Amino acid sequence: MKLKKIGHRNFTINLFADFLLKKIGLNSSTQISIVDLNNFIVVKGKTDSKEIINLSESLTEFEKEFDKSLNQNKIKNIIDLIDYDVEIKEVDDISFNFFNTENCSYHHKQLEMYFANESSWDFENIPKKIDEKSLYFTSEFPHGYSMNQGRLLYYFSKKIFYSIPPNYPVTSLTFEINKNHEDFIKVYDNFSNSYDYTLQSAILDCVNMNLEKLEKELKDLNLFQELMDPTNEHEVLKKNKPEIIII
């Protein structure tokens, strides 16, 4: 995942994607993807919800709630391409990259750069050079994706990663998840470029792959924390962790 600072155009559309998702419902079957073309945005999505949301009114609410964080990157015009009341298959096959850091979604270099520049942020004069070189920006997973569209698997994978014993050598791993497969999870070590069958076996032996408990624990999830305070991991993902025993 890319670590975006407050005020960046990606930050704004990711935040708006989650804002719209919250209005529709985190436990719906929903995918929202936003493309920022500078002079307008396109909101493309699909959901099983029958309740149509007014994007213009939602934008007004969004800007009022996050006014101080949007800076110059306020959304100007919207094209609404959300399809409602459609059947969406649950996502059960997905992969994630994780790193041995305080927030395993981000590489340590990303976090170093984030903290190195944090004290010198100037929201009135955020550099525009990088943004001006890009013709468009798109929102990124998991923002705009409901629990059964891969988001719950993402959180569950993070909880597993945090459960790996600290003395086990880990730099970066890829978890390949398939809910319909007997093994459920495959573990690829990005440092050695090989599958770690020892760790995989330990996870399968020690971790209950029932996702319902975690979903209940996440019912009061603060969606916006992941963007407003990205280095502060959700507490529920680091507490009551399963004990993984590696022999």
Is 245 part of a structural domain of the chain? Answer: no
In the chain, the number of structural domains is 1
Q: Give all strands of the β-sheet with 30-36 in edge-to-edge order.
A: 78-83, 41-47, 30-36, 137-138
Is 125 part of a structural domain of the chain? Answer: no
Is 98 part of a structural domain of the chain? Answer: yes
d(Cα 173, Cα 44) in Å, to the nearest integer? 31
- Provide the b/e sequence for 198-228 (b: ≥16 CB within 10 Å): ebbebbbeebeeebeebbebbeebebbebbe
Is 92 part of a structural domain of the chain? Answer: yes
Is 115 part of a structural domain of the chain? Answer: yes
Q: How many residues would you count in the chain?
A: 247
Is 198 part of a structural domain of the chain? Answer: yes
User: What does the pLDDT read at residue 118?
Assistant: 55
Is 226 part of a structural domain of the chain? Answer: yes
pTM of the model: 0.90
Is 128 part of a structural domain of the chain? Answer: no
List the single range of 29-38, 44-53, 215-224 with lowest mean pLDDT. Answer: 215-224
Most confident among 18-22, 65-69, 166-170, 215-219 (mean pLDDT): 18-22
Which residue segment(s) compose the domain that 64 sits in? 9-120+137-237
User: What does the pLDDT read at residue 117?
Assistant: 62
pLDDT tens for 40-77 read 899 999 999 999 999 999 999 999 999 888 876 677 78
| 233 in Cβ contact with 103 (< 8 Å) | yes
pLDDT tens for 107-164 read 988 888 877 765 444 433 444 444 556 788 999 999 999 999 999 999 999 999 999 9
